[in-house]
Amino acid sequence: MGKRQTAQKSVQNDLRIGTSGWTYDDWSGKFYPEDIKGPARLEFYATQFNAVEINATFYRLPTASMVTGWNRRMPPDFHVAVKGSRRITHLKRLQDCQAELREFIGRVAPLQQLRVILWQLPPSFRPDLPCLESFFALLRDEAAAIPHVLPELQSTNKDVRLAAVETLGKLRARQAAAPIRRLFYSAERADRMPYLTAEDEPLLAAALDDKGYPTPLRAQAALGLGRIASPTAVATLWRITRDRDRDLVEAAEAGLRLAEDRALQYGSGSPRVTAEVCAGFESPLSNRTLERLLQSTDGDVLDAAVAAARVRSALVGALLGVLNRTEPSREGHLVEAVVDSLYSTENGRSALAQSSSPIVRAFFERRKLVETFGST
């Protein structure tokens, strides 16, 4: 089907090529490289195709975290078709389904690359024009929901305003960005945090940069930027990792962990912070980054990279390399940390059992005792 450049060329011709789903185990080794597993498959898929149909939405409603993960792994020019819920098409058979339709639209609307909803009818469904016309009217009502919700941003009832903010945020309503910003800045500082649920990037970035806000509000802004995970959002988070406020730095790191690979693709920070960010997610890119950091001669960087390498079989060789470069009699704390990380994987424990170093073996035996009897 061609590489990314082929997909990009097809965009110019308005041609979209993709498959129905991407989570097929028998594609491993044939389409997906062997080391690409789980959620990372979608990101790889998007380098080969420029569209996909999501079948999972037919069987169950996607959670907010699922949609956030899909958004992070799809490039901006990617197109998505989702299959409509079977509760609507097969159980309700397009009738008396307004509540189900509203819930479905609310769940999939935050999918930034959504272009098509595919309604697959059961084979037993016979042509029924009145039923179809009624369903099409419901679809138009849901598509027109945003103009009806927008006026609620001006409500004198605070709870109504905040409910409208949350709803419009879920629908990714671009028309709501400007009025929500006005509401944010017109509210008392102590009352501004709920407006950040709209996840408007300029608003979040401004809130994060404003030192007049309390740390919890700025921390929420950092997490929002991490969920957006655009190049500018990631750059803002990396810049904040140089702040003197440790709580704020930790929030920025948490946001970068939410961005996963995009945190490493769209920006960079100090080696120590990079290791701490990589500790929050595992992917081929984060493993390669940690493998490089495990070669550092800086003690703080090495400590952070060793800790981040726990439970990663792919990094056993790199951890053994650290042991080989370390003088056990002078750097016992580092040896102990490396042994602890190696002990977290089966092949790491096997390598420790074969070590010829008395000190390494001693730490290994101690670690086994701790596991058996506890730290006491």
Residues near 318 by beta carbon (within 8 Å), at least 6 away in sequence: 290, 291, 294, 295, 309
pLDDT digits (tens, 9 = 90+) for 134-171: 888 777 665 556 666 777 788 888 877 887 787 777 66
| Statement to judge: residues 235 and 366 lie in one domain | no
10 and 136 assigned to the same domain: yes
Q: What is the pLDDT of residue 360?
A: 77
Dihedral sign computed on CA atoms, order 130, 133, 139, 143: negative
d(CA 196, CA 207): 9
Q: What is the pLDDT of residues 330-357, one digit of tens each?
A: 677 888 899 889 988 988 888 888 887 7
Pair (104, 23) in one structural domain: yes
- Confirm whether 216 is domain-assigned: yes
Domain co-membership, 233 together with 337: no
Q: What are phi and psi of 117, to 5 degrees?
A: -115, 120
Together in a domain, 21 and 83:
yes
123 and 10 within one domain: yes
DSSP sequence for 137-188:
HHHHHHHTHHHHHGGGGG-S-HHHHHHHHHHHHHTT-GGGHHHHHHHHHHS-
Q: What total number of domains does the chain contain?
A: 4
Return the structure tokens found at 58. 């037919």
- The single residue listed with the structure tokens 């912070």 is 273
**Is residue 281 one of the residues assigned to a domain?**
no
- Across the range 28-53, mean pLDDT stands at 92
pLDDT digits (tens, 9 = 90+) for 318-329: 999 998 888 866
| Average pLDDT score, the chain | 86
CATH of the domain at 227: 1.25.10
What percent of the chain is modeled with pLDDT above 90? 43
Cα–Cα separations (whole angstroms), residue 312 to 60, 144, 358: 32, 48, 25
Query: Do 81 and 129 have their domain in common?
Result: yes
Same domain? For 12 and 88 the reply is: yes
Domain boundary among 143, 160, 175: 143
pLDDT in tens, 280-306: 999 999 999 999 999 999 999 999 999
Does the structure show a pLDDT above 70 at 14?
A: no
* Containing structural domain, residue 259: 199-269
For residue 172, pLDDT beyond 70: no
Half-sphere exposure of 226 (CA within 13 A, CB side): 25
Same domain, 93 and 212: no
14 and 88, same structural domain?
A: yes
Residues 107 and 122 in one domain: yes
> In this model, does residue 359 exceed pLDDT 80?
no
pLDDT for residue 170: 63
